Structure formats: C-alpha cells, structure tokens
Structure 1
Amino acid sequence: MNKARNSSIDIFRLFFAIGVVMGHTFFLYDVNKTLAYFVSRVIPRMSVPFFFCITGYYFIKGLMNNKINTKKQLTRIIEIYAFWTLIYYTFSLLLAIKNHDSMKKFVLNKIRYFIFDGSYYHFWYFTALIYTIIIVSVVYKLFKMKGIAVLAYISMALYIFAFLGTKYCGLGYYIPPFKFIYNLKIYFSLRGIFCMGLPFFMTGYFLNRFSDKIEKMSNKKALILFIVFYGLYVEEAIFALNTSSYHDASEDLAVALFMIPALSFLFINLLKHPMPKYYKQSVSCRKISNFMYYIHPLLIQIILTGAEILSLTFFTESVVFIIVFIITMIVGYILSKFEGKLISLMV
C-alpha cells in the first residue's frame, strides 16, 4: 500500500459529502418516501463515520510513528470550527432578531451548543472530534499505545451500548442502568461523543493495528467482505424501517450494528487502491468536500427562508439538493485553487 496520503480516500470524501447534503435536504422525499429512505438516509449514514475514520486513521498512524503534533492539529480543528460558528451564529442572530426571540436565551443556548452539541446541527462532528482527540491524546500521554489499544476496545463496547438503545433493537431498555442512561436528556450529546465519534475515530486504530494482515489480504477478499457487510447493513436498515418509525429508523442507523464492519472494509479497499496518479484531483476533492460539508446547511436555510418569504412552492427537497449541490461544487472548486489562511479555514 502507498505510505503517502491516499488519493482514493480523499476522492471518496467528496462522494460522502454529497451524501450528507442528500441526507440534510431529504433528497427524493418529494418523489418517493421509501426511495428517499435508502438514497438520503441509509447510504449517507456512513458519511460522517467515514470522516471520523479518516482522521482517526492518520492520527493513530502519527502516534505510532511519533510524527503527530496533537496541539497543532487540535488548534487547527478548533480554528475551523470557530470560523464557521461565527458565520452560522451571525445568520442565526439575524433570524432571532427577525423573530423577536429572547437575546438572553439565544446567547445561553448558543454557548451550550458550541461546547456540547455543535454550534449547528452538522457541527456535532466538530465537538465530538475535539473531545475525542483530547481523550486519545491524554490516554496516549499517560499509557502510550497500550492505553490506546484498551481505549479502542472500550470504544467498541460503547458503540454496542448505543446500538442496544436503538428503537429497532431496544434490548438495552431491559437493563435498568442502560435504560436510565438512554432516558437522560443529555444522552444524545454523550452518544455523539463517546458512542459515535470515539468508536468511528478508533476504527482507525484497528486499521493501523492490523495493517500487516490487511496488506496480505487479497483485493478480491477485501471487496467480497465489503459487499457482504454492506449488504448486512442494508438488511439492518430494512429491518429498522419495518420495526420502527421512519424518523427513528433514520436516526438509529447512526449506530447500526453493521456500520463499523462495512466502514472498515470500505476503508481497506481504498487503502488497497491508493490511486497516486490522481493526487492533484484528490486534493481538489478533499477541499470541495470540506467546503460542501461546512456550508451546505446555511445554503439550505437561506433557500428555504427565501422561498417562504417569496411564497415559492416549487422548492421541493430534490430541487433544494440540486441547487445546493451545484453551488457548493462550483464555489468549492474555485476556492480550492487559492491559498491563504482564510481559504484554509473555508476548505
């Protein structure tokens, strides 16, 4: 496998960023509700776990090789988060003023969201990532790689704990301590950090830990195993839809039982096909995907708000997706051609 940065991973970033936009615009919901479930809920559910896995893979690799500057990486993530939070909070403030909302409540809520839940709904990724990197860094400083190994297995146990609390599984509700935690108001905040962010990030540990076995695995076997586990993930999604509400099934797939195995073998296939000749294109894909992920909810809100003010009825879910997709692709591509501090925060 190529030891340099993997181009195929960065190219797939863009596919998954598009998937996130599909999910947040409910693409095809106006066409067929069931079709939309698979296209805009099931497939995109692997997007953010994939982003965590990328960061975890390279971060853990850096720890193993003693080539990671934790403080620098954490500072970089916080800077991006703060930059985009300022943009989103400015827009939110304008809406709050328009709606005559309480400024005290607005400020208190925004501070809480910034620290625990993400300053905007898709930025839970940043809060979970920041806390995860802090946890991993502290464990590494105290216990080195032995501690990281233990943390990796603990993270998988936490993931199973969250899965047991899904509506379509529900076994955890028969265990009183588990049920107590599931019913906490802060459970979903905790789940995002400890049961999602941490396990997806630590998947990168296992990919590094078993890199020798991965290299020896045939490409055919890796592909077959991905197809098998992704098929099981889809079957799980069908089961979830048939045994719980549309909304619950969509949300609970975030901790689907077969998510991590499918994600792992997807990643393994990408590691086996690094596509170095597409490096330049992959850099553009990475930057466009970042911009698309950061800005798309703002564009969605602007479009929907504008449509409401102008009483426009043709902005269906699919139309909104197409508009956001085109804008983010074009602007993201243009920005990817520039350099500088501000640009680096945007892409």
Structure 2
Amino acid sequence: MRHLSIDILKVTAAFFVVFIHLDILRELNTTVSHLLVNGIFRLSVPLFLIITGYFFTRIETGKDFIKWISRMLILYVVWSIIYLPFWLGKAGVVTTLINIFNGYYALWYITGVILAGCLLYLLMGKPASTLIILSMILYISGTLLQYAANLNVFSGIISKVLAFTPSHRNFLFDCLPFMIIGLLIRRAGISNVKNYGLPIVASAFALLIAESYLNLKLFGADKQLDMMFSLLLISPLLFTYIMKIDILGKYKHLSSFATAVYLIHPAIIFIGQDYVYDDKLSALRYLFVIGVLVPVSYVLVKLNSKVKYLL
C-alpha cells in the first residue's frame, strides 16, 4: 500500500491551476470568481513548490544534483518543443527570448524550479533559522513588488518593469522560499511537525479569502495576483495538515498524472479557444477542457512509462 496524501494534494493543486486558466465562474459572478482564481486556487504553486522542496532532500551528493538538474532540463526542453507551434512565428524578438529562457505560459514553473534548485542545493547546509528568515524576506519582498506594481507606486520604466510578471513571480521571490519550506519540513520529519488542527487551517483560509477580497476592492477584478502574504502562512499549514492524514492506496501514478495535467492543460485550453468555442468564457470550455484533459493526461502517464522524461 502507498500513502497517497501527497499525491492527492498534487492532483488537487494541478486542477487548481487549470481552473485559474479557465477563469472559472467569471461569466457568472466576478466576485466569487476572483476569490477562487486570485484567492484559494493560488495555493497551487506554493503547494507544488513545497512538495518539490520536500523531496529535494533526496539530493545528497553532487552526482544526485547533476542527475536531478539534467532531468529537469530535459523536461523543459521536451515541453518547450511541444509548445513551439503555439507561439513560434507569432511573437517578437523580446517575447521569443522570454519564452525560451523564462518559459512559455505554465512552463515558467520548470525554469523557476531549476534555478531555485541550484540555489537550494548551495543553501542546504545552512541552519534552519537562517533558511526560514531568508525565505520570509524573499517572499515578502516579491509580494511587495507585485503590490507596488498593482498600486502604480512608481512611474516610467520602473512601473513597466514591476508590471512584468517575472519580475516578482520568479525563482528567487516565489520558488525558492516555498522550496526551502518543503525542505525544512522534510528535514524536521513530518511526524515532528506540529499539527495545528483544522480550526487553525480554516482560520488561515479565512485570512487568504480576506486578502483576496481586499485585493478585489483595491485593484478590481482584472488584476492578476500570483503572490499574496497569506500564502506564506496557509500553504505550509495545509501541507502539514494533509500529510498527517493517512490515505492508503495501490495506485502509483497519481503524481505523474498531476504533472501531466499541469503540463498539457494549456495546449488543450488553446485548442478549445481556437477551434471549439468562440467565447473564452463559454460554458462549453469546462466540458471540453476537462473532458479532453483527463484522458490525455492518462495517456501521457502511460507513455511516460515507456518514454522517460516526458513527465
């Protein structure tokens, strides 16, 4: 039997990303949609990163690190090639360079993890207190930059730079802090990490929703919010709470299924928008995207057992 808690959490996080990109419920209620898309569902990336950091402890030697980074680079190259038809020839020079080096659409996550992983490998020997302080400083700094951009605190070139999403949602301000948290949780041992219980987790959720609602009032429904202060609290609380729930099962490929969902869903959304429905907020998008995404992701899992480095 296999402990499936972390796999189920990863699948849930993957579908959170799908719902963000579908702009779920936007056509019905902008407030509810905002609280989901720019609130609860924003837990997805921090949870993915914490999980990545949690398993990063397996990297103990330089040989382990080379193997890990090689696998990540191959994964990035493979999926960058898969997504080439969606943007090649349609983008200018600057956008092309961004797509290649930062990652097209959801592929930014892979480049972020690669670069953050390089830093984390160098920092692994540092005391836990140092890593905690570093992660807090970095994430809060990145979040402040995002808020400064949304509030138009600066003008001119500084404003344009801050409005550029990778200026804050990147390997340093977003990926590294949560990977550090995952590493520290694993290093401490999940059994030794205090379980604060459902009331505390629920309170942290309420704080996340409150911050999301405040952002709605401050910035309106059209501002994207990748980073929020409350995510730094709720993400590790939720992760440790779920990890302490014993869910046993025999299925070994849920983690790969989650990766497949994350990597392939943008392509399915783009195909739907171009060939299936005219309105991006058409109710048909739910049926088409989910209906195609699940079986395609399953096929990718099966292919990955034969063609390594696909997931």
Corresponding residue SS for 2:113: helix
Higher alpha-carbon Rg: 1
Separation in structure 2 between the aligned mates of residue 171 and residue 27 of structure 1, nearest angstrom: 25
Q: Following superposition of structure 1 onto structure 2, how do residues 234-245 of structure 1 map, counting pairs within 5 Å?
A: 234-245=209-220
Matches within 5 A, 1:276-287: 277-278=248-249, 280-281=250-251, 283-287=252-256
Separation in structure 1 between the aligned mates of residue 149 and residue 158 of structure 2, nearest angstrom: 16
After superposition, the C-alpha distances for 1:162-221 in whole angstroms (9 at most, x for unaligned) are 2223448989959xxxx9977636963242221111112111133235447x63635xx3
Q: Is 1:205 equivalent to 2:169 in the alignment?
A: no
Which residue number in structure 1 is paired with residue 109 of structure 2?
125
Q: C-alpha distance in 1, partners of 2:67/2:45?
A: 22
- Report the Cα distance in structure 2 between the residues aligned to 1:339 and 1:31, rounded to whole angstroms: 38
| Corresponding letter in the other structure for 2:259 | N
Contact 1:164 1:170 in 2 (8 A): no
- Deviation track 1:99-125 (CA, whole Å, cap 9, x = no partner) reads xx58xx45x64343222x21x111110
Matching residue's letter, 1:41? N
CA deviations over 1:111-155 (Å, ceiling 9, x no partner): 43222x21x111110111010011112334xxx233x75344222
Name the structure where helix makes up a greater proportion of residues: 1
Q: Which runs of 5+ in 2 are unaligned?
A: none
Indicate conservation of the 8 Å contact 2:304/2:310, yes or no.
no
- Of stretches 125-134 and 221-230 in structure 1, the one that deviates more from structure 2 is 221-230
Structure 1 residue 322, shift from structure 2 partner: 2.7
For residues 265-319 of structure 1, what are the alpha-carbon distances to aligned partners after superposition, in whole Å with 9 as ceiling and x for unaligned? 11111221142x22x33x3322221111101111111111114xxxx54663442
**From 271, 279, 290, the counterpart of 2:243:** 271
2:44 pairs, out of 18, 40, 47, with 47
Q: Which moved more, 1:330-339 or 1:188-197?
A: 330-339
Question: Is the contact between residue 152 and residue 202 of structure 1 (CA under 8 Å) also seen in structure 2?
Answer: yes
- 1:330 corresponds in structure 2 to 295
* TM-score scaled by length of structure 2: 0.86
2:264 aligned to 284, 288, 295, which one?
295
Matched-pair contact (CA < 8 Å) for 2:14–2:261: yes
Counterpart secondary structure, 1:346:
coil
Decide whether the 8 Å contact of 1:29 with 1:318 is kept in 2.
no
Pick from 154, 177, 198: which aligns with 1:223?
198
SS in structure 1 opposite 2:309? helix
Equivalent residue number for residue 143 of structure 2? 163
Q: In the superposition, relative to structure 1, how do residues 233 and 68 fare at CA in structure 2: closer, same or farther (>3 Å)?
A: farther
Aligned to 2:166: 189
Q: 1:181 to 1:10 in 2, by over 3 A?
A: farther
User: What residue in structure 1 maps to residue 228 of structure 2?
Assistant: 256
Distance 2:148 2:209 in 1: 14
Query: Percent of counterpart pairs with the same letter?
Result: 23
Q: CA deviation at 1:5?
A: 7.5
1:242–1:262 Cα change, 3 Å: same
Name the CA shift for 1:109/1:78 in 2 (closer, same or farther; >3 Å): same
Native 8 Å contact 1:163 1:169 kept in 2: no
Change (3 A) 1:25 1:210: same
Residue number among 68, 73, 78 corresponding to 1:73 in the alignment:
68
| Deviation at residue 20 of structure 1 after TM alignment | 0.8
CA offsets, 1:225-274, max 9 Å, x none?
211111111111111111212122xx23x221111211111111122114
Counterpart residue number, 2:21: 24
- Normalised TM-score (structure 1): 0.78
